[in-house]
C-alpha cells in the first residue's frame, strides 16, 4: 500500500511517499481501508519535525481518518462499517492516516455521523471537532451570546474557521483575530462580525486591559492568549486548544483573581467517547455544509507532505481534505 512515511535520515528525519507493507502495521483489532484524511497543524509539525510530535520511527503521519472497516475483531464494528477516527495518538505514537490502510483499536473509532459524508468529516477533522469541543466547554461554563462578544484567534486557520461558523450560527457576535487581513472577506462570509489584526494581541500583555469580550476560542497560545485573557470581561472564559504562537503562557493571575476569568483547557486527543459522539452529533446538525465547502480544498495523498509544510508556515486557509485512495 502507498503511504507517507517519516523515517530517520542522515541529517535528521526524512519524509517520503512509498510502498509500505501491510504486515508492518501496528497491533489493533480493526483494519480500516482509509478513504480520506485531512491536514491539521499537528500533522504539519510531524512532517516538518518542528516539534517532537512523532514519538517513534518509522511513522505514518495523519491524525484523522475516515474509511470503511475491512476486518474487525471488535464487537462494535463489522466489515463494511463506515467509521472515523480523531486523535488517540494516531500519527504520533501509532501509525497514522496517510496510508491506504490503518490498523487501530476499535475503541478509538466512531461511526460515520449520520448526515455527513466521509469527505465532510475530514473537512471538519480534528480542527473542527476541537472547535466544537471548545464551544461545548463555553456553554457548560454557562456562557451565551447575551454575555457579550466572542473572540477567535488564528481565525483563518482550521480551528478558527470552523469556530467562527459555529459561534456565529449560535448567535454570538464574533471577533476574528488574524495575521492575514487580506482574508477579512472570507472570515466575514463565515460569520465574523469584526476582524482585528493579530498584531494587537501578539506583544507582551499587560496584567489587565480594557474588557472587550466575554468568551473566546484560542488556538494560538503564548502572548496572544495572555492578551486575550487580559481583555476578557468579568466572569468570562476562554477555551484554549492550540499553540501556533508557542506553548508558553506569559500572563499573570490578575484576570483570574480580579475578574473571575476562567481558562478552559480543551483536549481532543484523549476525549472520552461519549463527548466525541456528542460533538460529532452536533457538528452534523450545526455545521453549515455550504460554509464548510467554502473553507475546504481537496488534495491527493501525493500533495499531503507539501500541505503539511504550508500549514506550519501559515499558508493554509481553512481546511484541507486528503483523498487517500
Q: What is the CATH number for 243?
A: 3.40.50.720
* Domain identity same for 104 and 130: no
Q: Helix H segments across 181-272?
A: 184-190, 199-202, 222-230, 254-258
The range of the structural domain enclosing residue 157 comes to 126-265
CATH number at residue 73: 3.90.180.10
190: CB partners within 8 A, 6+ apart: 161, 164, 165, 168, 291, 294, 295
* Domain identity same for 253 and 226: yes
Count Cβ atoms within 10 A of the Cβ of residue 49 and give its class: 0-12 exposed, 13-18 middle, 19 or more buried: middle
Reported pTM: 0.94
Count Cβ atoms within 10 A of the Cβ of residue 27 and give its class: 0-12 exposed, 13-18 middle, 19 or more buried: exposed
* Angle between helix 158-169 and 118-140 (nearest 10): 60
Residue 282 lies in a domain: no
CB 97 within 8 A of CB 91: yes
Per-residue confidence in pLDDT tens, the chain, 325 aa: 999 999 998 878 899 999 999 999 999 999 999 999 999 999 999 999 998 899 999 999 999 999 999 999 999 999 999 999 999 999 999 999 999 999 999 999 999 999 999 999 999 999 999 999 999 999 999 999 999 999 999 999 999 999 999 999 999 999 999 999 999 999 999 999 999 999 999 999 999 999 999 999 999 999 999 999 999 999 999 999 999 999 999 999 999 999 999 999 999 999 999 999 999 999 999 999 999 999 999 999 999 999 999 999 999 999 999 999 8
Residue 118 lies in a domain: no
Last residue of a domain, one of 218, 244, 265: 265
CB 137 within 8 A of CB 264: yes
32: CB partners within 8 A, 6+ apart: 65, 67, 68, 69, 70, 83, 85, 101, 102, 103, 104, 109
* Domain identity same for 146 and 199: yes
CA distance 288 to 269: 24
312's grid cell: 506550519
125's grid cell: 477533522
Count of domains for the chain: 2
CA distance 248 to 137: 22
Amino acid at each position: 500500500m502507498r503511504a507517507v512515511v517519516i523515517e530517520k535520515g542522515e541529517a535528521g528525519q526524512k519524509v517520503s511517499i512509498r510502498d509500505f507493507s501491510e504486515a508492518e502495521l501496528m497491533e489493533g483489532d480493526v483494519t480500516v481501508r482509509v478513504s480520506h484524511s485531512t491536514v491539521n497543524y499537528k500533522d504539519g509539525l510531524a512532517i516538518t519535525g518542528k516539534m517532537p510530535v512523532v514519538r517513534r520511527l518509522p511513522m505514518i503521519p495523519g491524525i484523522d481518518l475516515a474509511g470503511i472497516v475491512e476486518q474487525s475483531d471488535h464487537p462494535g464494528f463489522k466489515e463494511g462499517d463506515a467509521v472515523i477516527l480523531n486523535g488517540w495518538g494516531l500519527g504520533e505514537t501509532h501509525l497514522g492516516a496517510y496510508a491506504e490502510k490503518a490498523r487501530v483499536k476499535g475503541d478509538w473509532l466512531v461511526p460515520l455521523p449520520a448526515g455527513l459524508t466521509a469527505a465532510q468529516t475530514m473537512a471538519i477533522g480534528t480542527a473542527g471537532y476541537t472547535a466544537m469541543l471548545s464551544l461545548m466547554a463555553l456553554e457548560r461554563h454557562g456562557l451565551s451570546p447575551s454575555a457579550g462578544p466572542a473572540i477567535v484567534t488564528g481565525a483563518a486557520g482550521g480551528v478558527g474557521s470552523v469556530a467562527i461558523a459555529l459561534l456565529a450560527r449560535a448567535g454570538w457576535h464574533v471577533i476574528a483575530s488574524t495575521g492575514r487581513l487580506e482574508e477579512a472577506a472570507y472570515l466575514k462570509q463565515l460569520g465574523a462580525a469584526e476582524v482585528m489584526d493579530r498584531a494587537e494581541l501578539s506583544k507582551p500583555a499587560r496584567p489587565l486591559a480594557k474588557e472587550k469580550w466575554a468568551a473566546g476560542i484560542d488556538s494560538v497560545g503564548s502572548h496572544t492568549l495572555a492578551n486575550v485573557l487580559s481583555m476578557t470581561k468579568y466572569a468570562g472564559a476562554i477555551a484554549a486548544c492550540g499553540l501556533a504562537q508557542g506553548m508558553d503562557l506569559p500572563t499573570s493571575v490578575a484576570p483570574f483573581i480580579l475578574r473571575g476569568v476562567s481558562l478552559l483547557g480543551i483536549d481532543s486527543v484523549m476525549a472520552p467517547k461519549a463527548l466525541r459522539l456528542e460533538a460529532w452529533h452536533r457538528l452534523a446538525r450545526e455545521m453549515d455544509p455550504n460554509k464548510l465547502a467554502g473553507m475546504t480544498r481537496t488534495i491527493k495523498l501525493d500533495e499531503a507532505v507539501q500541505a503539511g509544510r504550508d500549514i506550519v508556515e501559515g499558508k493554509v486557509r481553512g481546511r484541507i481534505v486528503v483523498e487517500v485512495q
